[in-house]
Amino acid sequence: MAATDSYTGGDGRLSPLSTPSATRAVLEAHGIGTKYTLGQNFLVNDDVLKKIIALAEVDEADRVLEVGPGIGTLTIALLKHAASVAAIERDPDLPAVLADTLHPWREKFALIEKDALDVTEGDIVSAASTVAEFGGISGGAHQASSAAKFTSTMVEPGGDTGCPDRASSAANETAQWAVSQSEDCLSESGYPVAPPQEDLQLSLPDKLVANLPYAVAATIVLDYFESFPFLDSATIMVQKEVADRMAAAVGTKNYGAYTVKLGLYAEPAGRFAVGPGNFFPPPRVDSAVIRLNRRVPLMADGAPATPEVIAAAALIADAAFANRRKTIANSCKTYFSGRGPVSLGVAGSSAEESGPRIVLLDGAAIAERLPAIFDAAAIDLRRRGETLTQQEFLALGAALLKEATV
């Protein structure tokens, strides 16, 4: 569906969709509205987009993973700077919109039509492979029919197959920019001509940049750092309170199990505030963009923590904050008492490892051995969870593995 020229811009904006009127025009042209149940609040401030790109340090060498592209407002900004973008979108109404708004960059964009919480490394590999091999938009190898539908939306049957000035009227201005960046032409099928097989280099995304759905933002960020070791950083729009938890210092009220677990994988590297007026429709909460850089957690002797120790430290963090007003010993005893075997999922340490490994711990044994565990880690039983540093949680994780592994 072609949209009107009312939102294509011409005033030098980073994204021609970054105004309320442009966003409304796109939605109306496709006969859809925003969906509260999916947490859809579209960004409508170009200055915020510029700050996101700057904070994420997106450049032409980067391959970006985006969650919740919406109508493509941030995606356009990313595509103007990055080598490619793979986006994850669960709303079935939006692929057709993205086919329209992202038409000029179809050779460097891939779409994964799936809930972000269900995405696997295989899905991302398929999307990256699609961009590398075909340079076309698809729904991923797991949805061939979706890919065909998406491509047919992008290219009008029987249309001109010359050079890239075939962009829909929805993106006339951005099409001119894209054409100026590339001289590639399309094949008659609508896909760019693929390079020779020997020249293909599969490169997985190295940065997550996204305006995340707030209801699941914290879960997505932690899960992706745990599960996708190829991600070096995440620059994400989240609810302000979530950003506060992500960046909380030891001993503060926002420091909790989530802060500890996220800190085992990443550390904050900058943030800025974003008010409700920068979205359409405006949310009822304040927002923040925060950048997190992957880190390698170190033990007291300076050695990198193993994946097993990291997973055990995360388990101890959950136990330590299960009863925040109690001492860490009492909170952990309550948490583990009466439990049977505890399955500890250990994430792979590299992109080549397939799936998590499982370490079995005996919950009842942990409860009984808590004094020995705390003694081995040199942690006073009378302390509270919020006073422990990342390194102390790692020490407890290592001690737990020695004392309670089945």
| pLDDT beyond 70 at 12 | yes
In terms of pLDDT, which residue wins out, 163 or 312?
312
Same domain, yes or no, for 286 and 346?
A: no
Burial of 42 (0-12, 13-18, 19+ CB in 10 A): buried
**Residue-wise pLDDT tens digits, 291-311:** 999 999 999 999 999 999 999
CATH code: domain of residue 153: 3.40.50.150
Same domain, yes or no, for 261 and 360?
A: no
Same domain, yes or no, for 55 and 82?
A: yes
Do the domain assignments include residue 299?
Answer: no
Q: Looking at the 3D structure of the chain, how many domains does it have? A: 2
**Residue-wise pLDDT tens digits, 231-277:** 999 999 999 999 999 999 999 999 999 999 999 999 999 999 999 99
Q: From 260, 294, 328, give the residue that closes a domain.
A: 294
| pLDDT beyond 90 at 167 | no
CATH code: domain of residue 320: 1.10.8.100
Same domain, yes or no, for 385 and 287?
A: no
Q: From 266, 294, 322, give the residue that closes a domain.
A: 294
Same domain, yes or no, for 339 and 228?
A: no
Do the domain assignments include residue 300?
Answer: no
Q: What is the pLDDT of residue 78?
A: 97
Do the domain assignments include residue 301?
Answer: no
Same domain, yes or no, for 36 and 123?
A: yes
**Mean pLDDT score, 355-374:** 81
| pLDDT beyond 50 at 163 | no
Confidence category of residue 340, pLDDT binned at 50, 70, 90: confident
Same domain, yes or no, for 340 and 233?
A: no
Q: From 248, 265, 294, give the residue that closes a domain.
A: 294
Same domain, yes or no, for 113 and 44?
A: yes
The pTM (predicted TM-score) of the whole model is 0.80
State the residue range of the domain holding 216: 5-294
Same domain, yes or no, for 60 and 199?
A: yes
Do the domain assignments include residue 302?
Answer: no
Q: What is the pLDDT of residue 91?
A: 92
Same domain, yes or no, for 68 and 129?
A: yes
